[in-house]
A and B are shown apart, each in its own frame.
Chain A
Amino acid sequence: MNHPTSNKLTVVIKKDCPTCVLIEPVLGQLVEEYEGQISVYVQDDPTFPASINSKLDDTSLEFSYRNNIEIVPTLISCNDDEELARTEGWVRSEWQELTGIDSLGNELVDFKPGCGSKTLDPGMEEQLAARYDIALLRARQIELAESEDEIEACYDRGWSDGLPVVPPTAVRVIRMLKGTHRAQEEIIGNVPPDNIPCTIEKVAINAVLAGCKPEYFPVVLASVEAALQDKFCMHGLLCTTYFSGPVMIVNGPVIKQIGINNGVNSLGQGSRANATIGRALQLLIRNVGGGLPGGIDRAVMGNPGKYSYCFAEDESDVDWANLAQDRGFERADSVISLFAGEGLQPIVDQQSRYPESLTKNISNSLRSVVNTKLYGAADAILVISPEHRRIFRQAGWSKQDLRQALYNNLMISGADIIRGAQDIAEGMPEKFKDKQLSKFRDDGLHIVTTGGKAGMFSAIISGWVASGEKGSQLVSQKIQ
């Protein structure tokens, strides 16, 4: 037998692990040879192993957590300054090398894999992080009295949009932060209207409030980055007396990965991802940005989408460009686009069997965006149902063909819509009287497909009356 090294040894075990039970004689030998230089930590039963007197209770798992123990048994060799080496499970040759005892465990098998550390039990890691790493969280901690109801406490502090929020406990926030690789202290940008520098951690807290799962978090982060793009004009959108709020459209593989509804009732209730991703941005604007309804949010009526307005596109027709492709991304990219819009105006057409008829019908409805006599004022999203898309596809039309046909149909003589025309005071200024006008500005009409497979209904999401360079433009952000 060689001499033990001068290094200090640490072993982490648990009784519930057959490998740890197997190596009990080895531990006994090490405790003798390394007297005063060895620590044996036990995760589950501090009376184990019965044959060793000097063992340390780690049922709190603090030592295991702080030392990143993933497998038991783990043997760690240290000098006075740092860890030198560690081995996991029972690998006799490695244990012999780390301890310097050539005969160590010769009576045992060469190799037996260990078990998972209790620190890695489901949900345990976040609990331990909340217990031991809460100091890493920068946000102010608010301690509730025992008599306080958590959800009512959130209401009392003004954190809610009117619906109950999920109380942002440390465990939940840490769990949310695990949804991204980005550092929690990174500043994602300045959130309007107060233009407050906002950390990833603050976004995570608001995503918890909104009810997001950690796997949604990258989409939430992308939605925030999109909203903060100058072109989107989030500040003005929040302050306006108009109805609009952020409408989110998601494209790409992330749709299936996290389950964003793009089928039946995709713009309706019932999908956690749709409901909470849109809500997270709104809560962030409220809580970090200070955008309170009746405060700086001066909407005359608002619209129900200001709770949350998020859906995914039906991408089942690979020859029909999705919105992200229209914006210059690849089909394999996951992208979120934000549009300043509101509501949903149905377009019923159960009779058209050819694109020409259907397009004319859609055009008629599109004229009503904002006002039938106001042209070039607001952008819009035309939301095509799968059944209506099929009519275009069966006739060999591409999305670009549809866009061009709509453009052609949506021209009008200025004289028909100037102020006073049709005995209506509202309308375009007199100077447009002799011009041909297009309903939408260039790049002002976006086309997406979503919804259930049955139903010959499409729809319009009408845009903010301050669309374009004077206000808000559709923005897209890749989801990382």
Chain B
Amino acid sequence: MTNSIMLDPTAELNPVEKQILPRLESLSGATIGLLDISKPRGKEFLDEVEKHLLEMGATVNRYMKPTFARVAPQELNQKISVECDAVIEGLAD
């Protein structure tokens, strides 16, 4: 049992949970990825989102997972992280 408990080596200034990345302060000038997870109607939904983003001055890159059933391939995650400031994932049908 004790082996699954570790002692925090830090100054304990932050919560144990992983921290989210800093949020964008503005969409203007930012590059936003839109990730279609390959569910039906995802494209139509993301087309609408893209329109709004473009109006707000963002650049939009579109991506697609090969299948919604599996996590995104590492290459795709890396590509998005290199090319985008933030990503919006299109989830449901």
Residues on A facing B (Cβ under 8 Å): 127, 130-131, 134, 137, 139-144, 146, 150, 153-154, 156-157, 159, 167-171, 173, 191, 194, 196, 198, 201-202, 205-206, 209, 283, 287-290
Contact = CB atoms under 8 A, between A and B. Distances in A.
Interface in B1-42: 2-13, 16, 18
B8 A143 contact: no
B27 to A, nearest CB: 25
B1 to A, nearest CB: 8
B20 to A, nearest CB: 14
B16 A140 contact: yes
A159 B5 contact: no
Interface of B is mostly: loop
Nearest to B3: A169
Contact of A140 (B2, B4, B8, B18): B8
Most buried by A among B6, B11, B13, B16: B6
Contacts of B6: 141-142, 144, 150, 153-154, 167-169
21 contacts: A127-B2, A134-B5, A140-B7, A140-B8, A142-B5, A142-B8, A143-B5, A157-B18, A159-B9, A159-B10, A169-B6, A170-B7, A171-B3, A173-B7, A196-B11, A202-B9, A202-B11, A205-B7, A205-B9, A288-B11, A290-B11
Given A142-B16, A156-B18, A157-B18, A287 B4 contact: no
Contacts, number: 78
Given A127-B2, A130-B2, A154-B6, 10 more contacts: A134-B5, A142-B6, A150-B3, A150-B6, A157-B18, A168-B6, A169-B2, A170-B2, A205-B8, A283-B9
- Enumerate the 10 nearest inter-chain pairs by beta-carbon distance, A residue then B residue, closest first: A140-B8, A196-B11, A139-B7, A205-B9, A287-B9, A287-B10, A130-B2, A144-B4, A168-B7, A142-B6
Contact of B4 (A131, A146, A156): A146
Contacts of B18: 156-157
Contacts of B11: 191, 194, 196, 198, 202, 287-290
Given A142-B16, A157-B18, A209 B9 contact: yes
A444 B9 CA distance: 35
A141 B9 contact: no
Nearest to B15: A140
A137 B7 contact: yes
B15 to A, nearest CB: 10
A170 B8 contact: no
Interface residues of B, number: 14
- B2, B9, B12 pick with most chain A CB within 10 angstroms: B9
A160 to B, nearest CB: 10
A134 B9 contact: no
A245 B2 CA distance: 36
A154 B16 CA distance: 11
A168 B2 contact: no
B10 A141 contact: no
A403 to B, nearest CB: 41
Nearest to A130: B2
Nearest to A156: B18
A139 B12 contact: yes
A159 B8 CA distance: 9
A290 B9 CA distance: 11
Contacts of A169: 2-3, 5-7
A26 to B, nearest CB: 38
A288 B12 CA distance: 8
Contacts of A130: 2
B24 to A, nearest CB: 19
